Amino acid sequence: MSPRVSRVTKRTIFDRLGPLFARTDVRRTYRFSRPTLHFGASEYRAIREIVRSGWVSNGDHVRRLEQHFIDRFGVKHAIACSNCTQGLVIAVRAAGLAGARVALPAFTWPSTLYALLLNHCTPVWADIDPETWLIDLGSVRARYDAVLAVDTFGNEAAVRTRAPVIYDAAHGYALPRLGRRGLAEVVSLSFTKLPTAGEGGMILTNDSALAREATELRRLSARMLEMAGVIGLNSVAHYEETYLKKLQVTERYRKLLRAGFREQAVPRASNHSVFAIRLDTPAVRDRIHAALSDRGFETKVYYDPLAVGLPNTDYVYNRLLALPTYPQMMGKVRQICDIINRAARGRGVGDKRAR
């Protein structure tokens, strides 16, 4: 059966984003995401010099950040953008896919779809694998001209098809094959990502013609600020140490969680950008989510499917809960796990029987 979806417009995306952000209480004691910065005197001097010079975008710091991606991932071209969403819009246009029928997973952040709509593309919905949560092209029965695959939560996607492929690598930094997949890949450097530039995106491609077009489109609409370049260079320089601390938080969750759950299967590689657990039932997930929220811990119930009627997508989404894993959360993991374990048994965090 084909997935059911109402007429998809830019308004549809905003309608979906509204409730998602509404669930984020800025007064929350412990946020889901928090950037880890290692600023020192040199970074503050660099920012003061940017302000003094008046050259605030696409300068030396942005070029050095682009060169970092070229050197680290062995890709021919890296084009820094104001954000990953604009990077995806530009990549689709520069690849000559405007107006195409493009297969994409419904289990993704709305920006993936937004990039297609701005290029007048027709979305062709794909289901996901129930264990890896990655796009399953075998589920697509309709014709498509290209594919927009997603590295879901940092799990490396690898699509086999003769059609052109662009990778939404928003969560893809440091994946082993980054820089060597498809026509282009677009990495996010938003404040929720590791590494971060505060806000930003990076288009990676080995296609020189695509790179020239993307560079011009970036110049017209999506230049990265030099301040973002400073933050990004600092963040990539400290990536390994911050990443190891993040993994330690994740491992502590694994040791202390007693509720029945499944983790995302990794067929190739993952950078564990997001630690999400799939609970046994939607009711258990919702109970845990509410209990953590009541105690001031922000978690994420996402991705809200962009189309309904895809069985694996609906099944995974209705049971998924993403937990905060930034290094500053290490001291709170035991408390979070206690709340989860009690809520999973149907006991409130204040229930005397659970003490």
**DSSP three-state, residue 324:** coil
* Per-residue pLDDT tens digits for 212-239: 999 999 999 999 999 999 999 999 999 9
- 185: nearest Cα among 203, 212, 197: 203
SS3 letters across 156-212: CCCCCCCCCEEEEECCCCCCCCCCCCCCEEEEECCCCCCCCCCCCEEEEECCHHHHH
* CA atoms of 62 and 55, how far apart (whole Å): 11
* CA atoms of 293 and 24, how far apart (whole Å): 10
Composition of the chain by helix, strand, coil, percent to 5: 40, 15, 40
For residue 28, pLDDT over 60 is answered with no
What was the pLDDT predicted at 353?
Answer: 33
Contacts of 113 (CB under 8 A, 6+ apart): 8, 13, 104, 123, 306
Q: Which residue type is seen at 91?
A: A
* CA atoms of 125 and 104, how far apart (whole Å): 6
Contacts of 203 (CB under 8 A, 6+ apart): 77, 78, 79, 81, 87, 90, 91, 184, 185, 186, 211, 214, 218
Mean pLDDT of all residues in the chain?
92
Neighbours of 98 (CB within 10 A): 13
Instruction: For residue 328, name the pLDDT band (cuts at 50, 70, 90).
Output: very high
User: What CATH class does 41-237 carry?
Assistant: alpha beta
Instruction: For residue 29, name the pLDDT band (cuts at 50, 70, 90).
Output: confident
Instruction: For residue 350, name the pLDDT band (cuts at 50, 70, 90).
Output: very low
* CA atoms of 192 and 32, how far apart (whole Å): 9
What was the pLDDT predicted at 8?
Answer: 52
What is the average per-residue pLDDT within 149-174?
A: 98
* CA atoms of 83 and 212, how far apart (whole Å): 19
Which DSSP letter does residue 18 get? Answer: H
- 90: nearest Cα among 178, 204, 226: 204
What was the pLDDT predicted at 322?
Answer: 98
Residue 27 vs residues 31, 280, 293, 338, 339: alpha-carbon distances, Å: 9, 30, 11, 22, 20
Choosing among 3.90.1150.10, 3.40.50.2300, 3.30.2020.30, 3.30.2130.10, the CATH entry for 239-344 is: 3.90.1150.10
Instruction: For residue 132, name the pLDDT band (cuts at 50, 70, 90).
Output: very high
What was the pLDDT predicted at 270?
Answer: 98
Residue 296 and residue 30 in contact, taking contact as beta carbons nearer than 8 Å:
yes
Contacts of 165 (CB under 8 A, 6+ apart): 146, 147, 148, 149, 159, 181, 182, 183
Structure tokens at 251: 């491992």
CA triple 121-219-154, angle to 5 deg: 60
- 86: nearest Cα among 228, 203, 183, 206: 203
* CA atoms of 63 and 57, how far apart (whole Å): 10
Q: Where are the domains of the chain?
A: 41-237, 239-344
What is the percent of the chain where pLDDT is above 90? 89
* CA atoms of 242 and 264, how far apart (whole Å): 22
